[in-house]
Structure 1
Amino acid sequence: MWMAQRNRRNIVGEGGSQVGQVTLAGDPAGVFLDGERRDLPVFGPGGYIWRPDQGADVLVIKTGEDGEAPCVAGQRGEPNWNLAAGEVMIYGGGSSILLQRGGIVSISGFLLVNGKEVLTKG
C-alpha cells in the first residue's frame, strides 16, 4: 500500500505545478501545458516586474481550490550562464547586472542614472 501511494504522488501533471512553454508573450501570458492556456497572470517577487518572452520555459503554479486558476511564477534560467552558488543575474533586452562573489558588480549594456549615461557599452 505504501508503494502504491508513493507512486501515485509521482504522476506527472498531478502536482501543484508544471513547466510549460510560452506561446503568447507578456502579462497575461499564453502557455502550452497539456494544451494551450491563455490569460495566465504573471507573478514575480515584490519590486520586480517581468514579462516572459515567447518560447521561454516557465513554471506554472496551479492555484484555486481545484487548481483551476493557473499562474506563471518563474522562468527557467539558461544553463550556460555558469553562475556560482550565491551569485545573482538580472537580464533582459541585451543588458545584464551580475552580482558576483567577492563584492563584484558587473554591468553589461548602457548604464543611465537619472537619464544621464554613466557607462558606455563597450
Structure 2
Amino acid sequence: MWLSSQSRKTQRSDQGAETGVVTLEGEETAVYLTGERRNLPVLSPGGYCWRPAGGETVLVLKSGADGEELWVAGVPGDGTDLAPGEVRIQSRQAAVFLGNDGSIDLRGTVKINGVPMEELFEPKVKEEGGLG
C-alpha cells in the first residue's frame, strides 16, 4: 500500500499546465504529453469555437485535486505582425485582422450567408467621357 501511494506521488506533476502535440483531431481530441491522453475537452473564449489540428502544439491545463482533469486551452501565438491591441483570428488559409486604426482586413474567400461575395456584387464599370 505504501509503495503504491509513493508511486502516485512521484507521478503527479506540480505543473498546472504543459504543452503537447495533437495526435488525434476532431471530437475526440488526443494530445501527447508524457503519453497520449484521449478525449480531451477543448476550451475556447466565449463566442469562439476552435478545434486543434493534428500535429499542432497546444497548451493543456490541468484541473482537479490532483491535476487529473485535462483541458486543451490554446496554441502558441505568433503575433509578430500585430501592434499592441490588434487582433488576428486565423485558420490555415483564412484570417481576419482587426487593426487599431479601425480597419478590418479579410484574407481568403469572403462569403456572405454562404454565397461568395463576387456573386452578390457586380464590379462598377467606369464610363469613358462621362462625369460620374
Report the equivalent of 1:115.
114
Aligned residues: 107
Deviations 1:14-49 (A, max 9, x none): 221111111111233111111111111111011111
Report the equivalent of 1:44.
44
**Offset, 1:119:** 5.3
Deviations 1:45-68 (A, max 9, x none): 111111000111111000112111
Aligned-partner Cα distance in 2 for 1:82–1:27: 32
Aligned-partner Cα distance in 1 for 2:27–2:88: 22
User: TM (normalized to structure 2)?
Assistant: 0.73
Report the equivalent of 2:93.
94
Q: Which deviates the most, 33-42 or 20-29?
A: 20-29
Asked whether the 8 Å contact 1:42–1:72 carries over to 2, the reply is yes
Identity of aligned residues (%): 43
**Superposed structure 1 runs of 4+ greater than 3 Å apart:** none
Q: Which runs of 5+ in 1 are unaligned?
A: 1-12
Aligned-partner Cα distance in 2 for 1:92–1:54: 13
CA distance 1:29–1:37, change in 2 (3 Å): same
Q: Which runs of 5+ in 2 are unaligned?
A: 1-12, 120-132
Report the equivalent of 1:3.
none
Report the equivalent of 1:31.
31
Report the equivalent of 1:72.
72
